[in-house]
């Protein structure tokens, strides 16, 4: 697995201004982890992001009834979330 430059942890619904800012800040080599209400993006029609790995926190996905529509996103549990933060060179919590 190629190293993650910046892991962006997003916990806000797609309409939130900070979600919009986060999407605009993603660079090739970064990874995006959707947590809490950010997983609602899996239900909305979102464009795929070239060169960006997308993860979603499974307990938040399951809680919101979105287990069937994860699309391109890889589901991770809390231990895997910890792993992502340990692997990434930088972490930004939006």
Give the residues lining the site for other proteins (CB under 8 A): 1, 5-6, 9, 11-13, 16-18, 21, 24-27, 35-38, 57, 59, 77-79, 81-83, 85-87, 90-94
Residue 94 near residue 8 (C-beta atoms within 8 A): yes
CB of 81 to other proteins, least distance (A): 6
Residue 10 near residue 32 (C-beta atoms within 8 A): yes
CB of 75 to other proteins, least distance (A): 15
75 vs 33: CA distance, rounded Å: 9
- Tokens 């950010």 appear where? 38
Whichever of 70 and 85 has its CB closer to other proteins, that residue is 85
CB of 68 to other proteins, least distance (A): 22
82 vs 53: CA distance, rounded Å: 16
Whichever of 16 and 46 has its CB closer to other proteins, that residue is 16
């Amino acid at each position: 697995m190629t190293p993650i430059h910046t892991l962006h942890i997003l916990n806000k619904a797609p309409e939130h201004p900070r979600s919009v800012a986060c999407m605009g800040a993603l660079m090739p080599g970064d990874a995006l982890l959707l947590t809490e209400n950010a997983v609602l993006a899996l239900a909305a029609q979102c464009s795929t992001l070239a060169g960006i790995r997308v993860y979603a926190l499974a307990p938040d996905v399951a809680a919101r009834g979105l287990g069937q529509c994860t699309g391109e996103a890889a589901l991770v549990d809390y231990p895997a979330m910890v792993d992502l933060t340990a692997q990434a060179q930088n972490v930004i919590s939006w």
